[in-house]
Structure 1
Amino acid sequence: MKKRLLLSIFALLSFILTSQAQEKGSSDLSVNIGFATSTELSNLFTDILVSGLTGNQIKTGDIKAGPTLGITYRYAIANRWMVQADGFYQKMSQDIYVNNTKEGKANYTYITVGLGTDYRYISTNFFQMYSGVAVGYTSENIKNSGAQNSANGDGFINYQVNALGFRVGKSFAAFAELGFGYKGIVNTGVSYQF
């Protein structure tokens, strides 16, 4: 009796792990929210550099970074292998100090578009586990209040490395990704596969 039960459980697990949810030609559309992005790190590095180069005459404080919000479209070019295109939006703000006197506030808007790929290690009808990479371009818009003029925002190359992603559900599902880049250290949301 125990052998039959163990054999049945093993057969069921084997079927689940070998069934394909992401077959060639299928699509996935997701709405994302991410936290702790590479864009925030880039902004922080720039602040440290400016502060150091000006001998602490120009500094920033009260830095606020909102979550990054985005949409991702994925297409399966082979079983378990998907390519993606996405777009993300993020706002940040910080106070600007010149010679320890508050001069105003800088408001940043970042828009990132990216292309990437991911591979599904486990791809069942209800559960998927995957990793992936993407490269993107981030456009920056800066508006200053106060005495200083608004600087022209520059764009820069950005990236995303998803060390581990999980998707739980059938056609409509929730997902979470852990990695680093323009989507954040933690990126989560809902997706629809069709």
Structure 2
Amino acid sequence: MKKANVFFCVFLSVCFGSRAVAQTSELKHELRFQISDGIPLAVINGITMSLTDAFSSSFSDYKIKRTGESPMPLVYGLGYRYHVTPRFNVGLDLGYMQFKADYELKKEGDVQEGTRKTNFVLILPSAEYAYMSKRKVRLYGNASAGVTTLSGTSSVGAAANNDKDYSSTVFAFQINPIGVRYGERFGGFAELGFGFKGFLSLGFSARL
């Protein structure tokens, strides 16, 4: 009798567990929100937008000194995934980061304040494969390739004619060979890799 009860309990566990996995696999759509460290974009910003690039056209004879800047910015992202199979999905990631720096421009007795704001927008189509997919734990890797648009303004004082706008669009990518998600319909995830979003991403996702 005890063996029969044990067998019955195991049978129910397998049935309900399989049903839970099946229900999760039937949820084709997934929405994601994530935050990434943004270190590569910060480095790109520092290299491509030097002090002389920001103000040289109108203030080349000024001594330019950086007086402050935003702390290490983060990339805020939204993503969508369509689960083609239980292990493979495709989708789109959008990311945004803003970098701001303040300057002092000095020439003899003339001292002015300048500001530079740069906005990065990432548009990355993505593909993802899960090499382990359990009811609550999913291990995966993904790769994305697309573009990032860079746009910003360098301004000095309050005069509008001192504003200098700039913009550019370049190729962007992100490769995360290690990703883990914990949860069923709602879960948290972490990704390690390299690319324009950074090296570490943390986020929350919902399957619908």
TM-score by length of 1: 0.75
CA separation of 1:59/1:125 partners in 2, compared to 1, >3 Å: closer, same or farther? farther
Identity over the aligned pairs, expressed in percent? 24
Give the conservation status (yes or no) of the 8 Å contact 2:41–2:197: no
Quote the Cα distance in structure 1 between the aligned partners of 2:140 and 2:112. 46
Deviations 1:107-127 (A, max 9, x none): 111111110111111111200
Quote the Cα distance in structure 2 between the aligned partners of 1:75 and 1:102. 52
TM-score by length of 2: 0.70
1:182 correspondence with 2:189:
no
Partner amino acid, structure 1, of 2:189: F
Give the conservation status (yes or no) of the 8 Å contact 2:28–2:83: yes
CA separation of 1:154/1:96 partners in 2, compared to 1, >3 Å: closer, same or farther? farther
Quote the Cα distance in structure 1 between the aligned partners of 2:46 and 2:154. 17
Matched length = 176
141, 154, 177: which one pairs with 1:144? 154
Give me the CA root mean square deviation.
Answer: 3.3
1:87 correspondence with 2:101:
no
Partner amino acid, structure 2, of 1:107: K
Partner amino acid, structure 1, of 2:42: E
Give the conservation status (yes or no) of the 8 Å contact 1:25–1:75: no
- Of 113-122 and 139-148, deviating more is 139-148
User: Which residue is 1:120 aligned to?
Assistant: 130
- Of 36-45 and 131-140, deviating more is 36-45
Deviations 1:3-24 (A, max 9, x none): xxxxx9xxx9xx99xx678748
Structure 2 unpaired stretches of 5+: 1-9, 57-62
Quote the Cα distance in structure 2 between the aligned partners of 1:22 and 1:62. 48
TM-superposed CA distance for 1:136, in Å, is 2.2
